[in-house]
Amino acid sequence: MEKKKFKILLINLGYCTGINGFFWQYIAKMHRYIYLPRTIEKNILQKLQNIIAKEDPDIICLVEIKKGKQVRSLISEDYLFYDVKTKYGEKSLLKKMPFFYNKGNAFIAKEDFSFQAHYLQHGTKRLVYEIILPNKISLLLVHFSLTKRVRKKQFQSITQLPLAHKQFIVCGDFNVFGGLGELDQLVENSNLQIINPAPTFPAFSPSKSLDLFLCSRDIPASARVLDEKVSDHLPVVLEIMA
């Protein structure tokens, strides 16, 4: 199969609350996580639609998006194929509770890619999407734990997943507040490289590299962080030959 350029857009959407990562916003606007005014939600989704139109990615990977209208609003003639699931464990009671049942991760794509859901062994957020890209590459979308001890176990679990292909990409919100050194063992054990070490959080003044792409070393790749304040995380675009 002939290789061509393939683009992936990654963003932690923060459930469209419009919080930009400034500490006092989390306090003053905390109510938006419970009751989100439609005007704010619509404005954030329109900003994301503008980014999609500008970047024209082949696939959009979304962390912290609500099942239902938030996902449906991003579906178009160009992006017909998608899946969204709650991010909790397969048997987690949170999947049935009012405040949590619709909180998930999702992907939206131009093509009908095969995919499957894996679940990590540790943590509250356990969902791992495996999306099968062209030329036998597996794309994993994950939202890792806020707790360092749990993250370490989750990074170990990634290396044990029964993936469809040896070449793979891991993307998502890694929550490595302790620094990129937290990923040393994962990178070494899986022969990965961090493609975009630039800061993405908090969006108003980025200082932490949380939103990342890790790629198998034999995948030609480049990435850039977008200066687009849609949530408390900046979006990232990865381009590969696939």
- Supply the DSSP symbol for 230: S
The CATH architecture annotation of domain 5-241 reads: 4-Layer Sandwich (3.60)
pLDDT of residue 200: 98
Quote the Cα angle for 36-206-228, to 5°: 55
pTM value? 0.96
Sequence spans of domains, the chain: 5-241
CA distance linking residue 233 with residue 208, whole number of Å: 10
pLDDT of residue 76: 96
Token representation of residue 196:
């975009």
pLDDT of residue 78: 97
| Distance between first and last Cα of the chain | 9
Element spanning 157, H or E: helix 148-158
pLDDT of residue 1: 58
Averaged over successive runs of 10 residues, the pLDDT of the chain (242 residues) comes to 86 97 93 94 98 98 96 97 96 90 96 97 97 96 98 96 96 97 96 94 97 97 96 98 82
- Supply the DSSP symbol for 13: -
